Chain A
């Protein structure tokens, strides 16, 4: 007797909850939209006032004189990221190869948690480590402690866990036949792994590098502590440098008016860089899926 109303209540609840789930899922879309709108609405007018070319290509950042050129910071981010890739990728990919194909089982049970531990450390800890260990070392070796080189080494260490984990799972996903086929043709274990398995895992390894680039470009706190933060185009790899991220944190605390808007515009430029990197990543994913 009371079954029918029960049913209709249930189906009503089903619909209500489905809508709730859908709305929850749409929150992330809303967040992306909000971030885009607020960042660009606050940043683009400043770019307009300064002039897009003066802003992006200007080599002088002197807020006191109303000179807002972020070319030194763009170059800074570029140099530091490139350095981090040069330092982190060879070590990371080789370690991933070791973990996936060379590592004795017992050792793996120690190394894998060690890599996870690295991934979990907060960037402020890396930054502090860089400040108290790397910077004095570099000062002893090259005379300048806070430099592109120091930041590149620290960031190279920081992207290691990303590169290792993603590359390792790509290497493990290569079908066993590839490796066995190479062995059957007379190649040694090492040659099969390096010349057969590694090329087969190319897309995954590349994805790990792109993820590493994303992390290095976006890193803030660690870089501030070791890069020196001079807003000038660096002369050599031992001179100090300021990245886009550092520029925002260093000056946002006291900036006002156009200066403040220029900093938000800096974040917008950074955001566009990250979007491009994400786009690259999803294009690569699509290609591997096909």
Chain B
């Protein structure tokens, strides 16, 4: 078959292959546009003031408490996982001998964590934080669960950011008599800030979009919690509840718009920061 088509001057296969790739790309684009467009068109007209009322009732299905809870949850998860993730990455890149046993074990662990589905995190959070630690369905349990979930993400992005700092920076600092610690905090970390921030913001995006890990750890109470041991539903969980109840379909579309724009805005910010790092690297 191949031989004959090669002998022939007229090549049918090449345009066909070209057409295939173009149509696949067109299909992908179409899906994105349709998905985002559909939700925007259906949702934007229903963004009414009552949807943003301060307290939730079953009539106005306000998303404000959920939005505040999302903010609190994100803060809590990041306060826990950002310092841990950054310190881990500093250890892996700046301190550990490359290829040592410790590094291998840590890498394996963080890769494993990165692959675990969010529902398994949710169940672990339920068994460990909610039941064993007696925290109950609470924002604290949810925050700890999500912190573990985004830890590998922050570790990996920070590692990449640290690795992209040229070795000449470190050599210069050592040459001027700075110790390892001073080099890390004064030279390497400041140079890697945009990359680290990009990773953290990516983690924020994941926390905001997470549902499965929160249903059984933070619960579904649609109120702003008065203490960290109270249940609190985030925007994604709110969205899930609304769409599975199916009673307020228009408000669900509107909530989807808010959630979508929030997550997309966060991700855009992250990639803008990552570009800043990339630009800085190429100019040096």
Quick check: B28 and A164 within 8 Å, CB to CB? yes
8 Å CB contacts to B: which residues of A250-288?
252-253, 263-264, 267, 270-271, 274-275, 277-278, 281-282
Q: Is the CB of B84 within 8 A of A249?
A: no
A1 at the interface (CB under 8 A from B): no
Contact of A70 with B by CB under 8 A: no
Q: B161 at interface (Cβ–Cβ under 8 A)?
A: no
The answer to the question of A18 belonging to the interface, with a C-beta cut-off of 8 Å to chain B, is yes
Contact B120 A133 (CB under 8 A): no
Q: Closest A-chain residue to B29, C-beta based?
A: A114
Q: How many chain B residues have a CB neighbour from A under 8 Å?
A: 87
Please state if B31 and A25 are interface contacts (CB–CB under 8 Å): no
| Minimum C-beta distance from A102 to chain B (A) | 5
Q: Which residues of A contact B266 (CB under 8 A)?
A: 120
A20 and B87 form a contact (CB under 8 A): yes
Chain B residues whose CB sits within 8 angstroms of the CB of A217 once the complex forms: 117
Q: Is the CB of B115 within 8 A of A274?
A: yes
Chain A contact-residue range equals 35 or more
Q: Tell yes or no: A111 within 8 A of B by CB.
A: yes
Closest chain A CB from B213 CB (angstroms): 9
The verdict on A17 contacting chain B, using a C-beta distance below 8 Å, is: yes
- CB-CB under 8 A from B92, the residues of chain A are 25
Q: Is A181 an interface residue (CB 8 A)?
A: no
Q: In chain B between 195 and 253, which residues have their CB closer than 8 angstroms to a CB of chain A?
A: 205, 208-212, 215-216, 236, 239-240, 243-244, 249, 252
Distance in angstroms between the alpha carbons of A123 and B244 in the assembled complex: 14
Specify which of A31, A114, A218, A219 lies most central, judged by the most chain B CB atoms within 10 Å of its CB: A31
Give me the interface of A with B, judged by CB distance under 8 Å: 10-11, 13-14, 17-18, 20-22, 24-29, 31-32, 34-35, 38-39, 42, 90-92, 94-95, 97-99, 101-103, 111, 113-118, 120-129, 131-133, 157, 160, 164, 188-191, 193-194, 214, 217-221, 225, 245, 248-249, 252-253, 263-264, 267, 270-271, 274-275, 277-278, 281-282
Q: List 21 A-B contacts (CB under 8 A).
A: A11-B179, A18-B95, A20-B87, A22-B102, A24-B87, A35-B148, A38-B128, A39-B120, A92-B24, A94-B21, A94-B24, A114-B33, A118-B28, A118-B31, A122-B263, A131-B243, A218-B115, A220-B119, A221-B211, A245-B119, A270-B117
Closest 6 CB pairs of A and B: A218-B117, A122-B209, A94-B24, A24-B87, A21-B91, A120-B267
